Amino acid sequence: MKSLRKINATLKTGQESLIHESKQTSYSLIDFWKWSVSDLLSNATRGRFAEFIVATATGVDIRQPRDEWAPFDLVTPDGIKIEVKSAAYIQSWRQKELSKISFSTKAAFTWDSETNTQSSVASRSADVYVFCLLHHAIKQTCDPLNLDHWEFYVLATQELNRYARSVSSISLSSLRKLATPINYSQLQEEVRIRHTI
């Protein structure tokens, strides 16, 4: 049997209709998007949204669909590979207290979608890590779309590798020992600076 090649996704407009019995239904892809990802405080959705924020700040071509299976999250136009991590004090569920902030930094076994094989050694494949904290701590007014509600920390992967306590995760207090919080407009330059370390 012939092996099947990887299928590259194409960017959708949101206007594509669901088809039933060769006819368009009244439901479109944007209906699915609104239904599935409107809760930006949800951990899974917030993580992808953080990737989008970093992509827009660093000039990543968002006309190319996100690659779910890449060994890192983003590649800038000048070839810097970025891993994006996110955390928030506010969650979409009922909370008794604000969430404690910690970011996963665990090395991972990467999967190559072209060869359908997994690496034999866990590693951190990106050049730079961007830690995105939705720092606004008032539930009624927390808005992930408001970029002033976020702060960002950038580390070169080798800086993270040298920090012995960050084998699988890093706390906010530890992160603040290694990097200063920056805002959205500073991200592109800070990624470039950290990449040269």
Q: Taking Cα atoms as reference points, which of 182, 38, 48 lies closest to residue 194?
A: 182
Please name every residue paired with 170 in a beta bridge, in sequence order, or none if there are none. 103
* pLDDT for the residue numbered 124: 83
Residue numbers of the domain that contains 174: 39-195
Residue 157's H or E segment, with its range, is helix 157-162
* pLDDT for the residue numbered 112: 67
Does residue 100 lie within any of the structural domains?
A: yes
Does residue 4 lie within any of the structural domains?
A: no
Number of domains in the chain: 1
Q: Taking Cα atoms as reference points, which of 130, 122, 118 lies closest to residue 159?
A: 130
| Global confidence as pTM | 0.89
Does residue 15 lie within any of the structural domains?
A: no
Does residue 34 lie within any of the structural domains?
A: no
SS3 percent helix, strand, coil of the chain, rounded to 5, is: 30, 25, 50
Looking from the CA of 194 toward its CB, the CA atoms found within 13 Å total 26
Does residue 26 lie within any of the structural domains?
A: no
**Residue 1 CA, distance from chain mean position:** 37
* pLDDT for the residue numbered 63: 93
Does residue 27 lie within any of the structural domains?
A: no
**Mean pLDDT per 10-residue run, the chain (197 residues)?**
68 96 97 96 95 98 91 95 97 94 85 67 85 96 97 95 82 95 98 93
Angle in degrees, 0-180, between the axes of helices 43-58 and 187-195, rounded to the nearest 10: 80
Does residue 96 lie within any of the structural domains?
A: yes
Does residue 31 lie within any of the structural domains?
A: no
